[in-house]
Amino acid sequence: MKHYWYKAKDLKGNLITGEVEAPTPEAAAKLVRGKRLIVIDITQTGTLSLNLLNTWKDRVTSSSVMNFTRQFATMINAGLPITEALLILRTQDSGAMEKIVSQLLADVEEGESLSSSMAKHTSVFSKTYVALIKSGEIGGVLDDVLIKLSDDLEKREEFKGKIKGAMIYPVIVVFGMIAVAFIMLVFVIPRLSTLYDQFGTKLPISTRIVVGASNIASKYWPLILGAVGLGGFLLKNWVNTKEGKRKYEEIIFALPIVGDLQKQIILTNLTRTLSLMVGSGVAIIEALTISSQVVTNSIIAAALQDTTKLVEKGFPLAFAFSKHPEAFPFILSQMVAVGEETGRMDEVLAKVSHVFEVESDQKVKSLTAAIEPIILIVLGIGVAFLVISIILPIYNLTTQF
């Protein structure tokens, strides 16, 4: 998509300027006319200097998609046509979301389906989202699908907020500890070590350790920061490789508490998505295929791909899940077997998702409850070590006189 700067007049003759995103100048002019404006001039904006700024400005957050879906669902459920609902939403939204809605409206007015139009915006609407919209269009139940989808997005945002909220305090404390230690080693300890050198007294072992670390940090801190940055860059590149990503995720899954928590968070979203798709009429094989493409964890994605192959061969879904205990816990295959027997797979998957969510919430609380005293203990030991290392030489000097 290219960015075009337009100059136009409204129905009252007032001069209006703005920016739209479109593949061609003709499409950009159509978007401007869709706003009931008379086009005067359209020029493509520069792509080099404003690239990063436009990328940041054109971001559509998950909360924006959630609000759009809820409002869209309400309007469609009230009986409004899709074009009229999109027209109202375009006037209510602002920024990047307004551009997306404008493009959706232009495509739908040209006779394109809503799902195919949304599929053009992969950074905004996921494959799961598009598949659900498509199933709603085919089955004539778009209003029901949108309501379920908006409920699902709200649950996801709420669950994500719980996880982030629980981890804020530990992260702030850890970064605070690192910052204080850096300031002490680079700026405070060197001045005290000069004082110790003037008296020529023999320093205790703890003080020598602190002074040695301070000398290294104060002299080579640019190299240390550069090494840390380079290490992070190399680690990120390694994790982005197929082999590195899988190895990294295996290490994370093997960690106590953290690994189980990470897996349950992924499974919570996965089972909720499968429940939503199956309940909206998406075929189970298509739902599994889409989920394997959407899930970010390579271990679970590979297990889903093999599960899809087994189901295609005629094996029950519960059996396919049970073949991958490294990715799917026993309760999932057990509950899925109940869903297959009763024919209420969507309800069973929703209940499993709720179980995983509750367990994840409990694990997060347990983790934060364990981290807080550990951080305080480490912080207390570190502060005590620094205080003793700084004060002990001064105390020795005072006792000599």
Distance CA 207, CA 197 (A): 12
- pLDDT over 80 (residue 209): yes
Selection from 373, 381, 365, 357 nearest residue 159 by Cα: 357
pLDDT for position 49: 42
Mean pLDDT of the chain: 82
Q: DSSP 3-state assignment of 36?
A: coil
pLDDT for position 142: 85
Question: What secondary structure letter does DSSP report for 23?
Answer: S
Selection from 186, 252, 192, 194 nearest residue 223 by Cα: 186
Range 182-186 average pLDDT: 82
What are the structure tokens assigned to 220, written together?
């080579």
CB atoms within 10 A of CB 371: 18
Q: Taking the CA atoms of the chain, what radius of gyration do you get in angstroms?
A: 29
Distance CA 270, CA 286 (A): 14
Cross-strand pairs, 22: 2
* Span 80-120, pLDDT tens digits: 899 999 888 888 766 678 888 888 888 888 888 998 999 88
Helix axes 82-92 and 62-77, enclosed angle (nearest 10): 140
pLDDT for position 50: 46
Q: What is the pTM of this model?
A: 0.65
pLDDT for position 274: 87
Is the distance from CB of 86 to CB of 93 less than 8 angstroms? Answer: no
Distance CA 99, CA 54 (A): 13
CB under 8 A, 24+ apart: contacts of 33-37: 34/102, 34/105, 34/106, 34/109, 35/102, 36/10, 36/11, 37/6, 37/8, 37/9, 37/10
Q: How confident is the model at residue 293 (pLDDT cuts 50, 70, 90)?
A: confident
pLDDT for position 48: 42
CB under 8 A, 24+ apart: contacts of 252-261: 253/299, 253/326, 257/363, 257/366, 257/367, 257/370, 258/367, 260/363, 261/360, 261/363, 261/364, 261/367
What are the structure tokens assigned to 379, written together?
């912080």
- From residue 133, how far is each of 113, 149, 327, 354 by CA, in Å? 10, 9, 29, 24
The owner of tokens 């301070």 is: 214
* Span 21-77, pLDDT tens digits: 777 787 888 888 888 788 888 887 654 444 444 544 557 788 888 888 889 989 998
What are the structure tokens assigned to 9, written together?
């007049």
Distance CA 46, CA 54 (A): 10
Strand locations in 2-107 (E): 2-9, 15-22, 38-44
Is the distance from CB of 321 to CB of 307 less than 8 angstroms? Answer: yes
Instruction: Count, in order, helices (H) and strands (E) of the chain.
Output: 17, 3
- What is the torsional sign of CA 259, 242, 304, 152? positive
pLDDT for position 401: 56
Range 184-211 average pLDDT: 77
Domains of the chain from N-terminus onward: 2-57 (3.10.20), 62-154 (1.20.81.30)
pLDDT for position 47: 47
Q: How confident is the model at residue 201 (pLDDT cuts 50, 70, 90)?
A: low
What are the structure tokens assigned to 17, written together?
């300027």
Range 10-15 average pLDDT: 77
Q: How confident is the model at residue 337 (pLDDT cuts 50, 70, 90)?
A: very high
* Span 236-287, pLDDT tens digits: 888 888 888 888 888 888 887 778 888 888 888 888 888 888 888 888 888 8
The owner of tokens 């082999």 is: 243
* Span 124-175, pLDDT tens digits: 888 888 888 888 888 788 888 888 888 888 888 887 787 777 778 778 888 8
> What is the Cβ-side half-sphere exposure of residue 213, based on CA atoms within 13 angstroms?
15
* Span 224-233, pLDDT tens digits: 889 989 998 9
Range 312-340 average pLDDT: 90
